[in-house]
Each structure stands twice: as structure tokens, then as C-alpha cells.
């Protein structure tokens, strides 16, 4: 006989099912939402993982046996289970890289759909791929398949809904789980835009680790055909401008860090490798080739750039003077004056729209000073920086001498009346639309606005 006993009628997040077999001892089933499942306590309970119960009512704590985790997630069900069962599920090998695992997963999925042999379910194959594609889980599996006493990781750190068989402890406040019947992680479908230069290039994968959005995505050669990267790309990746559009199923995971000796746990979203789609932009290869070449160009002229950068730290230098310095030192034709202070997040559209309308322009610290017909513009062409606009000075040399002794914050706050003396008109705060920003600048300059629009700034969508 089986009876269903809700722990609390007002809280459906946790329910207790009691299954009675007619003998003195009963077996309980618990269905509940769970949180962090990351640590095995030491001591007598060392083989039981403590699992957070975020909505405790009758049950306040839950413990899962290491055996239950091994059997459910790693398909290691006692001595009769093959020690390499996850690899067998994909017809793969322990030395296989992520690209090879993805290919194996795709082939087995097709084979499974066409075959009448259903001895291994598609869910088991998907579980095998998602475990083996995760470096930490693969290491855990390789460890526990050779060592029965090794403690397994709970995949992705918990967070989800679980149905587990076990027993209540004597006080009725804790549950000991000896068998996992079902687990559904906390999941969400997301579309995200990933800036390739913010990723880390590893031998078998590209890791996109976004601490602001708390997202993590792993990409491999099976998702990016023809992109033959290696770890040396990390030296010049900051010049890559392309973005990848990713659609994925993200599971809630846990990340730990130590802060002043205290263990801090935060929730992240990690893309499941089996449910990952990537849209590669046109021009990606050209962007990569250009980024590598630009990095090499700057490297060959590093000493010259450093000397000029020191000069413009205190005195604005007109672009024609910088060009003369380049010629004097036989710089390559591809080196441009703006490259002295160019940064990876600088936007060419912003720079070129201001430069082409200029009578002349100057380099100063990390800014570019553009002299128009009626105004002078101080610009750092990157997101997070506003465009500063001044009336065009009657004496440009005096303006540059005075501006060289000020900071942007001095102008903004008009310290010592500097904004008034320099003829400060105002700031144009850059939003997400390029043309809107440009038209706001043109209006301040008394020039005709332009019709049309362009895509967002690189990085505007995060």
C-alpha cells in the first residue's frame, strides 16, 4: 500500500510520500526542491552529501548517499555496472576531447533514432555527454570508476527538483536518501550574445565566463567548424571584435569563492553542452586575421608607441606631427596616429564619424580632440564615456595648453571655472544607438542631422 502525505498543504515545494509494504519497516519517498549540493561532511556521515532544502517545512535537511549519486548521474550501479559505462553510452574513449565527444553524441543520437535497440535511452546518452563534456564532472567520473571510496560530484552543484527514496531520521526533521528516482535541474532557455575577446581559449574548448551576467558557456570545434584556435590566441584576442549569438538551455549552478576567509556561494547559469546552438557571424575569419595582424603591428612598433604615448600624456599632439614621427622612425604604412592610444573597446564608427568632419585632430592622453568648423570635441570612442563638446577656440594653441592642465572631471564640475574658460558647451551621453549619438553631436554643432540608423555599439547588449 502506498499513501501520499503532503508535508504542508500550503507549501507544495516539498512533499513526502510514504510507501508501506506490509512489513514493520516502511520506505519513504521524498519529492522536494533542492538548492546547493556541494560538500560531503567529514566524519561518520562522510559518505552522505548534505543538500540544501530552500523551503523547509517538515523536512529541514536532506542527505544523499554517494552511492545514489554514482548510480543515478554516473550510471555506476554496483559491481555489475561497466566502469566505463558513460563512455560506452557514446561509443567514446576517456582520452576523447570535447569536439570528439560532441561528434560521438551526434552520431549516437542519429543511430538511436534509426535503431530498434533501445538498451541505452537517449536521456542516458545525453546525460553521458553532459557529464563528460564538463571537465570537473569528467574528472569525478574517472576518479570514482576506479575508486569505490571516492566521493562523486553532484552535477552542476544541485538546484532543481528531486524524487528520492530513503528514510526519515528519528526526529523527523531530516531525510536520508539512498536512491535517486528522478532529478530535474532548474533550467531556462536563453539567447545570449557573447563577445569573443572576453572568452578564454583552451586547447579543447573556448570558455565564455561572464561574471556580470553570471553566465558560463563552453564552445568546441563541433560548434565552430573551421576555427582552429590554440591557447596562444589569448595573447591577442582582445583585438577581436566579433560576437557569437548563442541559444542554449542553461542550468542553475553554484560557484564558490573565498572572501576574507569566508566561503561565498553564488548562483550561475551554465549552458548544457547537449543543448547548445551557435550562430557564427559573417566576417569572423577576416576579423580574427585582422586582430592577429594588428597585434603584431603594434608589437613591432611597441617602443615607438610608448615614446609617443609619453609625449601626449601632458601635451596634445596634432595627428600630422605624429605622422611625421612615424616617418622619421620608418614606421610601417599600416600604423596610424590613432593607434598610439587605441584600445580594444574603441569603436571605429565613432572615431571615423568625428575625424572625417574635422579640420584637424589631436591626440591627448586617452582622448582624441577633433576640431570642427564651430566646435571642438573631446572623445574617448568607447562605451561608458560621454562626448565633451566645446566652442571652437579663437586661439587653438592656448586652448590646448589650458586643456592639457585639466581633467575631464574638472570640466564637468567646472572646478576653478575651467569649463567656462574653455568654452564648454555640454556632454552627449552615449546610448545604445550609434546614429542617435551622432545626430545629438551634430545638433550641438549646428550641422544637419543624418537619416538612418546602424546596429548597436559593440558591447551594448552585454
Give me the chain's average pLDDT, please.
87
* Residue of higher predicted confidence among 9 and 32: 32
Out of 45-54, 176-185, 338-347, 432-441, pick the least confident.
Answer: 45-54
CA distances (Å), origin 13, targets 2, 16, 63, 181, 269: 20, 10, 18, 17, 22
* DSSP secondary structure code for residue 354 in this structure: H
Residue position matching grid coordinates 530535474: 184
Quote the CA–CA distance of 100 and 430 in Å, as a whole number: 45
**Grid cell of 389 as nine digits:** 563638446
* Residue of higher predicted confidence among 203 and 7: 203
Phi, psi (rounded to 5 degrees) for 368: -120, 135
Phi, psi (rounded to 5 degrees) for 48: -120, 125
Tens of pLDDT, residue by residue over 171-212, are: 778 889 999 999 999 999 999 999 999 999 999 999 999 989
Report whether 31 contacts 161 (CB < 8 A): yes
**Residue 408 neighbours by CB under 8 Å, 6+ apart:** 378, 388
Query: In the prediction, which pLDDT does 456 show?
Result: 55
**Grid cell of 46 as nine digits:** 562522510
**Residue 167 neighbours by CB under 8 Å, 6+ apart:** 27, 28, 175, 176, 178
Quote the CA–CA distance of 419 and 387 in Å, as a whole number: 14
Query: In the prediction, which pLDDT does 266 show?
Result: 85
Report whether 418 contacts 334 (CB < 8 A): no
Out of 326-330, 381-385, 431-435, pick the least confident.
Answer: 431-435
Phi, psi (rounded to 5 degrees) for 219: -115, 145
Mean pLDDT of 224-244: 95
Compute CA 328 distance to the chain's CA centroid, rounded to the nearest angstrom.
Answer: 44
Query: In the prediction, which pLDDT does 395 show?
Result: 95
**Residue 138 neighbours by CB under 8 Å, 6+ apart:** 131, 132
Query: In the prediction, which pLDDT does 309 show?
Result: 97
Q: Is the pLDDT of residue 239 over 50?
A: yes
Quote the CA–CA distance of 189 and 355 in Å, as a whole number: 43
Calculate the dihedral angle through the C-alpha atoms of 460, 201, 89, 269, rounding to the nearest 10 degrees.
Answer: -30
Q: Where do the domains of the chain lie?
A: 2-74+152-185, 187-286, 302-445
pLDDT-based confidence at residue 147 (cuts at 50, 70, 90): confident
Max avg pLDDT among 8-12, 260-264, 331-335: 331-335
Out of 59-73, 217-231, 331-345, pick the least confident.
Answer: 59-73
Tens of pLDDT, residue by residue over 263-300, are: 778 889 999 999 999 999 999 999 999 999 999 999 99
Predicted TM-score (pTM) of the model is 0.84
Mean pLDDT of 246-255: 92
Helix %, strand %, coil % for the chain, to 5?
30, 30, 40
Query: In the prediction, which pLDDT does 260 show?
Result: 74
Query: In the prediction, which pLDDT does 61 show?
Result: 84
* Residue of higher predicted confidence among 249 and 22: 249
Q: Is the pLDDT of residue 127 over 60?
A: yes
Q: Is the pLDDT of residue 128 over 70?
A: yes
Mean pLDDT of 316-321: 97
Compute CA 10 distance to the chain's CA centroid, rounded to the nearest angstrom.
Answer: 38
Mean pLDDT of 253-260: 79
Quote the CA–CA distance of 88 and 363 in Å, as a whole number: 62
Quote the CA–CA distance of 212 and 204 in Å, as a whole number: 25
Amino acid at each position: 500500500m502506498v499513501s501520499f502525505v503532503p508535508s504542508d498543504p500550503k507549501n507544495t515545494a516539498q512533499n513526502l510520500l510514504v510507501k508501506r509494504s506490509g512489513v514493520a519497516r516502511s520506505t519513504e519517498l521524498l519529492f522536494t526542491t533542492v538548492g546547493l549540493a556541494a560538500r560531503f561532511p567529514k566524519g561518520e556521515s562522510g559518505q552522505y552529501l548534505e543538500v540544501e532544502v530552500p523551503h523547509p517545512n517538515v523536512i529541514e535537511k536532506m542527505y544523499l548517499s554517494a552511492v545514489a549519486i554514482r548510480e543515478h548521474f554516473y550510471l555506476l550501479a554496483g559491481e555489475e555496472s561497466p566502469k566505463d559505462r558513460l563512455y560506452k553510452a557514446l561509443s567514446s574513449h576517456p582520452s576523447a576531447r570535447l569536439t570528439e565527444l560532441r561528434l560521438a553524441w551526434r552520431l549516437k543520437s542519429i543511430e538511436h533514432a534509426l535503431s530498434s535497440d533501445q538498451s541505452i535511452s537517449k536521456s542516458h546518452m545525453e546525460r553521458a555527454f553532459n557529464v563528460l563534456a564538463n571537465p570537473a564532472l569528467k574528472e569525478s567520473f574517472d576518479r570514482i570508476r576506479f575508486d569505490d571510496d571516492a566521493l562523486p560530484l553532484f552535477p552542476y552543484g544541485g538546484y532543481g527538483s528531486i524524487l528520492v527514496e530513503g528514510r526519515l531520521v528519528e526526529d523527523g526533521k531530516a531525510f536520508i536518501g539512498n536512491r535517486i528516482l528522478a532529478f530535474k535541474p532548474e533550467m531556462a532557455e536563453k539567447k545570449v550574445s557573447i563577445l569573443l575577446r572576453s572568452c578564454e581559449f583552451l586547447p579543447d574548448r573556448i570558455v565564455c565566463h561572464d561574471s556580470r551576467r553570471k553566465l558560463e558557456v563552453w564552445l568546441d570545434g563541433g560548434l565552430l567548424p573551421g576555427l582552429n584556435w590554440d591557447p596562444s590566441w589569448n595573447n591577442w584576442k582582445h583585438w577581436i571584435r566579433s560576437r557569437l549569438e548563442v541559444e542554449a538551455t542553461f542550468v542553475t549552478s553554484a560557484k564558490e569563492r573565498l572572501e576574507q576567509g569566508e566561503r561565498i556561494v553564488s548562483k550561475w547559469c551554465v549552458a548544457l553542452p547537449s543543448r547548445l546552438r551557435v550562430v557564427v557571424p559573417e566576417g569572423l575569419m577576416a576579423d580574427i586575421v585582422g586582430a592577429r595582424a594588428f597585434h603584431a603591428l603594434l608589437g613591432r612598433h611597441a617602443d615607438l608607441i610608448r615614446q609617443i604615448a609619453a609625449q601626449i600624456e601632458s601635451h596634445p599632439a596634432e595627428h600630422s606631427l605624429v605622422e611625421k614621427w612615424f616617418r622619421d622612425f620608418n614606421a610601417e604604412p599600416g600604423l596610424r596616429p590613432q593607434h598610439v592610444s587605441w584600445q580594444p573597446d574603441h569603436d571605429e564608427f565613432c572615431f571615423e564619424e568625428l575625424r572625417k568632419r574635422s579640420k584637424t585632430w589631436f591626440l591627448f592622453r586617452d582622448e582624441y580632440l577633433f576640431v570642427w568648423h564651430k566646435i571642438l570635441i573631446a572623445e574617448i570612442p568607447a562605451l561608458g564615456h560621454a562626448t565633451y563638446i566645446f566652442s571652437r577656440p579663437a586661439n587653438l594653441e592656448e586652448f590646448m595648453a589650458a586643456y592639457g592642465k585639466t581633467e575631464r572631471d574638472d570640466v564637468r564640475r567646472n572646478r576653478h571655472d575651467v569649463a567656462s574658460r574653455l568654452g564648454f558647451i555640454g556632454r552627449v551621453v552615449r546610448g545604445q544607438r550609434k546614429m542617435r549619438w551622432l545626430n545629438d553631436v551634430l545638433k550641438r554643432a549646428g550641422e544637419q542631422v543624418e537619416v538612418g540608423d546602424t546596429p548597436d555599439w559593440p558591447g551594448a547588449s552585454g
